[in-house]
Amino acid sequence: MANNTSMILSLINANTPLSDLVWIASEVARLEKDIDQKLRLWRADCAAHTLHIYEAAQNSTAPRNAIAAARAFARGEIDDATRYAAWVKAWAAAWAATRHSLEAENAAFDAARAADWEAAGTTAKAASQTWQRNRLVTRLSTPELKDWPLP
């Protein structure tokens, strides 16, 4: 187990693209429950990190409940059927939010055509990937790491 975690961490230190790191960790997770749990918890941390964006636009607890269910499932506290039920509710809430956000996005785009949205989006994506990379390193290398707090 330590060898695979060390291998993943060395790839992170070698500046391997985040998508490749996640793929490698996912493959290792098929064989190692510890890595599987840490990867599931990292994914929940990523969702929790951005939950405030969703909750600012929507009045639904479904995504928050899905994050809690994902964490509980990773720790073996609930079964797959319970986790899936929370996911279905979160997906329905996200789909409803997407419809509303598209309308808002179109209005914002019309109001701010002069702004450099592409550059801002690229900067935000890079910052998000840096956060995700750092959190993955911390999640894999720190035993009993506390979950990223829900807002």
Tell me, yes or no, if the pTM score tops 0.95: no
| CA-to-CA dists, residue 25 to 70, 74, 113, 149, angstroms | 18, 15, 40, 23
Confidence of residue 126 (pLDDT cuts 50, 70, 90): confident
Which value, in Å, is the radius of gyration of the alpha carbons in the chain? 18
The span from the CA of 7 to the CA of 29, in Å, is 13
Q: What is the mean pLDDT of the chain?
A: 79
pLDDT in tens, 17-67: 888 888 888 888 898 898 999 999 999 998 888 888 778 777 878 888 888
CA 3 from centre of chain: 25
| CA-to-CA dists, residue 116 to 84, 103, 121, 125, 126, angstroms | 39, 20, 9, 14, 16
